[in-house]
Amino acid sequence: MRDALLKLVACAHQAAAQCDKRLVDREHSAAMADLRATLDTINQGIVLVDATGTVQLCNARAAEFFRLPDGLIGQSLDLRRLTAELLEADFTVSGSGRTATLYRPGGDVFDLHIEPRADGGTTILVEDVTANFRREESLHLAESEYLSLFENAVCGIYRDKPDGTPLRANRALVAFNGYESEQQYRTAVKQSGGNWYVDPDRTKLFQHLLTTTGEVRDLVSEVYRHRTREKRWITENAWYVRNKAGVPIYIEGTIQDATERVEGLAAVEQQANTDQLTGAASRFHFLNTLNAITRDANGACVLFIVDLDKFKDVNDALGHGAGDAVLSTVAQRLRKLAGPAATVARLGGDEFAIITPGASASMQADMKCADIVRAMREPIEIEGHNAIVGASVGVAIFPAHAATTEELLNNADIALYHVKTNGRNNACIFDHAMKLRLQQHKALEADLRSAIPADALELYYQPIVAAKTGSVLGYEALMRWNHPRRGFLPPDQFIGIAEDAGLMTELGNWAIRRACQQAVALPGHISIAVNVSPSQFRSSGIVEQVKRALGDTGLNASRLVLEVTENVLMTSQSIATRVMDDLTALGVKLALDDFGTGYSSLSYLQRYAFSKVKIDRSFVAGIESKPANTAIIRAIIRLAADLGMDVVAEGIESEHQAALLRAEGCELLQGYLFGRPRPFVDICADLALHNLQTCMPQRPLGTLQDAPEERTVHKTL
Ligand code: C2E
Ligand code: MG
Ligand code: MG
């Protein structure tokens, strides 16, 4: 542009020179005027000065720029002074020699060009280059901004050739890969041959996304850091940069380290899916697994719900640490039993579940049940104690028993309930008749609530006899429920229901009171044993209840025996000791019932103030066939004798058993051989045969006339 202008100026200069010669030529001077007018319209300023310093030409733009007065032409111009003034005034200058760039403080920028001519004159050109200058300046700014962003970005940024050859990588990406310089990084990437993703299929996926959609958005992958080969998770975005023809010329992209996020998410997921205490699956994961099966048209599985029978006792007796250890061992055993395809979950508390997937699983359900029950019966050693928790297992099969997760769970629960109400420590597979029985059970529970007010409970009495003479020394009071429609029910048909319904304390207290009432009618040498359930024993008012029953009936406390099982001792030891001490202080005797089942710790005999121990009938039943039983019975009898305790052997049905026990020195015997449990009127009648004076009831008892007929014959009386 400047060269073109200089040419134009040269022409103008020539024309001006000629103009002088042909001053007379009017046409020519008109052309000159046109030329000047034209020069006034252009954006550049032009000043021509001849060798003498006289201004030959000065267009409007130049006059304006140099602030020269009109009519300058023909006057002399001190160019040196002019430029000096100009520069001093308000410009800063860069450049030197003939060309300079002038910056006006307001922001305008001018190029000044001073060109000496061959004729000794000078051509001065001045051009406003502000717009150009601004453009370049903002371009430069943008570029340096981009570079700053690129270099200082916290995420990795790169530009590659479409074949993957790295062109640029910012500091973050270089550092992410363990390098110090971009050069090191590029070399390493080229040498590694693109071996970056941990899962090699990821490369294909990346390329597929890029070629089909032109971009990759928020792709999360695991990669190797180039230098250390350490694994990291990243989130990446990438896109093609295309030329005007649409052909990709670069791949650009960003990479963010997502390791913490991914691992955090994995940890949260793992936490949600796992029961932290036992390592079994969580209830959440269990339900998801079950839902996936029940929603699948071809889904099939067996669901086992495993409920520990005596967990609460262990927890109460040995503390929460021991309880936790039991739960962990149980989970471990179940996992081992269930196999790798199954899901073992802890549903909460002491309830576990196993989902065995597949249609064939139902074929082995019976076997699995037996295995689970057996495994749960194995003792668990904790802090020197051998805890036997046992479990009840309810089973339902999908799709045979249910159409939905909810129904499947309900039905497994029904099967479990069935086991629990039938003595626990067993397994049961759901069948549709069970639902009906459950309804009956619920109805029974409702009936039981009104049993005491309706006076429908009764105590039956079973004799306890002296081994040597066969004479009756006492009776055990055993509860019966005279159900309005179902007749007399034994305790195993309602005690579990009463426990579940929270009615046991009320029932138990009733039994103590009634036994005391009736016992006063019996001869003074006869003791009465009453069973006390663990929940009744744990209830706060037991001592007060016993005291009141004795006080109200006038029974001598020494005639009352309270029978408790080892479960009672599994409550907090300090509570058990306090309650037992308080009861003993009343003068009541305590018997340890069913010894030989449960924990059977001989140390219980030493630690607590029992005056009797009752050897369980399951033990007595094996006495003829199992020599070990005899040895244990012998040990119990010896220890009891040393501790000054009486031993009662329960469940004696044969003379042979009685003879063996007598031979071992057992002094008290109880069992069908000597008499079944019978109504109070019956035993009164029996006693009357021997001593009418002493066995007549001394107080009127409301239920006497309602008692059923004697059903068994008392053998020894
Ligand atoms: P338990 O205290 O061990 O009572 C002995 C049980 O064994 C009684 O069963 C009795 O009928 C039965 N039995 C006695 N001799 C023989 C025998 O020779 N052979 C066989 N096969 N059985 C014999 P019952 O009356 O059905 O009572 C069962 C359990 O119910 C009792 O076991 C006791 O734990 C509980 N129970 C009974 N009455 C009460 C009560 O008033 N309160 C509480 N909490 N529990 C009670
Ligand atoms: Mg008993
Ligand atoms: Mg017993």
Instruction: Specify the range with the lowest mean pLDDT, choosing from 4-18, 462-476, 682-696.
Output: 4-18
The CATH number for 616's domain is 3.20.20.450
Q: Which ligand is nearest to the CA of 614?
A: 3
Q: What is the pLDDT of residues 488-503, one digit of tens each?
A: 999 998 998 898 888 9
Q: Are 380 and 322 in contact (CB under 8 A)?
A: no
Backbone angles phi, psi at 361, to 5 degrees: -60, -30
pLDDT grade for 359, boundaries at 50, 70 and 90: very high
CA torsion, points 705, 711, 713, 717, in degrees to nearest 10?
Answer: -30
Query: DSSP letter at 423?
Result: T
The answer as to whether 24 is a domain residue is yes
The answer as to whether 307 is a domain residue is yes
Q: Which ligand is nearest to the CA of 496?
A: 1
Last residue of a domain, one of 220, 242, 263: 263
Q: Is the pLDDT of residue 642 over 80?
A: yes
Does 423 sit in the ligand 1 pocket, CB within 6 Å?
no
Mean pLDDT of 341-360: 96
**491 alpha carbon – ligand 1 mean position (Å):** 7
Report the nearest atom of ligand 1 relative to the CA of 565. 34
Indicate which residue's Cα is closest to atom 25 of ligand 1. 478
| Domain tally, the chain | 4
Residues 488 and 558 occupy one common structural domain: yes
Does 478 sit in the ligand 1 pocket, CB within 6 Å?
yes
The answer as to whether 457 is a domain residue is yes
pLDDT grade for 458, boundaries at 50, 70 and 90: very high
pLDDT grade for 714, boundaries at 50, 70 and 90: very low
The CATH number for 376's domain is 3.30.70.270
Sheet holding 122-128, edge to edge: 55-58, 44-49, 122-128, 109-116, 99-103, 92-94
Q: Is the pLDDT of residue 505 over 70?
A: yes
Indicate which residue's Cα is closest to atom 2 of ligand 1. 531
Distance CA 278, CA 330 (A): 8
pLDDT grade for 694, boundaries at 50, 70 and 90: very low
pLDDT grade for 689, boundaries at 50, 70 and 90: low
Q: Are 127 and 45 in contact (CB under 8 A)?
A: yes
Residues 482 and 577 occupy one common structural domain: yes
Residues 234 and 194 occupy one common structural domain: yes
Indicate which residue's Cα is closest to atom 11 of ligand 1. 677
Q: Pull the structure tokens for residue 607.
A: 């630690």
**611 alpha carbon – ligand 2 mean position (Å):** 14
DSSP letter string over 184-206? HHHHHHHHHTT--BSSTHHHHHH
Last residue of a domain, one of 431, 458, 480: 431
The answer as to whether 450 is a domain residue is yes
Does 492 sit in the ligand 1 pocket, CB within 6 Å?
yes
Does 95 sit in the ligand 1 pocket, CB within 6 Å?
no
Q: Is the pLDDT of residue 73 over 80?
A: no
Distance CA 694, CA 138 (A): 123
Last residue of a domain, one of 242, 263, 284: 263
Q: What was the pLDDT predicted at 316?
A: 82
Measured between alpha carbons, how far is residue 486 from residues 347, 370, 482, 498, 685 in Å?
37, 32, 8, 17, 27
Q: What was the pLDDT predicted at 699?
A: 37
Instruction: Record the pTM.
Output: 0.52
Q: Which domain holds residue 91?
A: 2-129
State the chain's mean pLDDT as an integer: 86
Q: Which residue in the block uniquely carries the two structure tokens 């060798």?
A: 51
Distance CA 622, CA 625 (A): 5
Does 677 sit in the ligand 1 pocket, CB within 6 Å?
yes
Q: Are 361 and 304 in contact (CB under 8 A)?
A: no
Does 672 sit in the ligand 1 pocket, CB within 6 Å?
yes
Does 491 sit in the ligand 1 pocket, CB within 6 Å?
yes
Residues 427 and 451 occupy one common structural domain: no
Indicate which residue's Cα is closest to atom 30 of ligand 1. 491
**SS3 string of 424-464?**
CCCEEECCHHHHHHHHHHHHHHHHHHCCCCCCCEEEEEEEE
Distance CA 295, CA 545 (A): 55
Q: Which ligand is nearest to the CA of 562?
A: 2
pLDDT grade for 298, boundaries at 50, 70 and 90: very high
Mean pLDDT of 533-560: 94
Does 357 sit in the ligand 1 pocket, CB within 6 Å?
no
The answer as to whether 390 is a domain residue is yes
Q: What was the pLDDT predicted at 598?
A: 62
Residues 223 and 95 occupy one common structural domain: no
The answer as to whether 148 is a domain residue is no
Residues 208 and 258 occupy one common structural domain: yes
Residues 123 and 170 occupy one common structural domain: no
Mean pLDDT of 539-557: 95
Report the DSSP pairing between strands 99-103 and 612-615: unpaired
Report the nearest atom of ligand 1 relative to the CA of 673. 18
Q: Which of 452, 458, 478 to mutate to test the pocket of ligand 1 (most atoms within 8 A of CB)?
A: 478
Does 458 sit in the ligand 1 pocket, CB within 6 Å?
no
What SS3 state is found at 89? helix
Measured between alpha carbons, how far is residue 383 from residues 321, 324, 572, 606, 695 in Å?
10, 12, 16, 20, 52
Q: What is the pLDDT of residues 253-270, one digit of tens each?
A: 999 999 999 999 888 988
Indicate which residue's Cα is closest to atom 10 of ligand 1. 677
Measured between alpha carbons, how far is residue 700 from residues 414, 478, 520 in Å?
45, 21, 11
Q: Which of 460, 531, 714 to mutate to test the pocket of ligand 1 (most atoms within 8 A of CB)?
A: 531
Q: What was the pLDDT predicted at 317?
A: 81
Instruction: Specify the range with the lowest mean pLDDT, choosing from 50-54, 485-489, 490-494, 524-528.
Output: 50-54
Q: Is the pLDDT of residue 717 over 50?
A: no
Q: What was the pLDDT predicted at 600?
A: 61
Distance CA 695, CA 519 (A): 10
Distance CA 181, CA 570 (A): 70
Q: What was the pLDDT predicted at 609?
A: 84
Q: Is the pLDDT of residue 696 over 80?
A: no
Report the nearest atom of ligand 1 relative to the CA of 532. 44
Report the nearest atom of ligand 1 relative to the CA of 491. 30
More confident residue, 72 or 624: 624
Distance CA 235, CA 221 (A): 7
Q: Is the pLDDT of residue 651 over 80?
A: yes
pLDDT grade for 690, boundaries at 50, 70 and 90: low
* Percentage of the chain exceeding pLDDT 70: 88
Q: What was the pLDDT predicted at 9?
A: 61
What SS3 state is found at 116? strand
Residue 162's closest CA among 245, 254, 237, 240?
240
**492 alpha carbon – ligand 2 mean position (Å):** 13
**619 alpha carbon – ligand 1 mean position (Å):** 15
Indicate which residue's Cα is closest to atom 7 of ligand 1. 651
Q: What was the pLDDT predicted at 709?
A: 34
Q: What was the pLDDT predicted at 2?
A: 58
**SS3 string of 98-111?**
CEEEEECCCCCEEE
**577 alpha carbon – ligand 3 mean position (Å):** 21
Does 172 sit in the ligand 1 pocket, CB within 6 Å?
no
Distance CA 3, CA 6 (A): 5
Q: What was the pLDDT predicted at 1?
A: 54
pLDDT grade for 367, boundaries at 50, 70 and 90: very high
**291 alpha carbon – ligand 1 mean position (Å):** 45
Q: Is the pLDDT of residue 580 over 90?
A: yes
The CATH number for 124's domain is 3.30.450
More confident residue, 503 or 606: 503
Residues 166 and 125 occupy one common structural domain: no
Q: Which ligand is nearest to the CA of 677?
A: 1
**515 alpha carbon – ligand 2 mean position (Å):** 13
The answer as to whether 321 is a domain residue is yes
Residues 594 and 704 occupy one common structural domain: yes
Q: Is the pLDDT of residue 611 over 90?
A: yes
**580 alpha carbon – ligand 3 mean position (Å):** 19
The answer as to whether 138 is a domain residue is no
Does 490 sit in the ligand 1 pocket, CB within 6 Å?
yes
Residues 115 and 162 occupy one common structural domain: no
Residues 519 and 569 occupy one common structural domain: yes
Mean pLDDT of 547-551: 97
Mean pLDDT of 393-412: 96
Q: Is the pLDDT of residue 704 over 60?
A: no
Does 495 sit in the ligand 1 pocket, CB within 6 Å?
yes
**597 alpha carbon – ligand 2 mean position (Å):** 13
Residues 459 and 607 occupy one common structural domain: yes
Q: What was the pLDDT predicted at 92?
A: 64
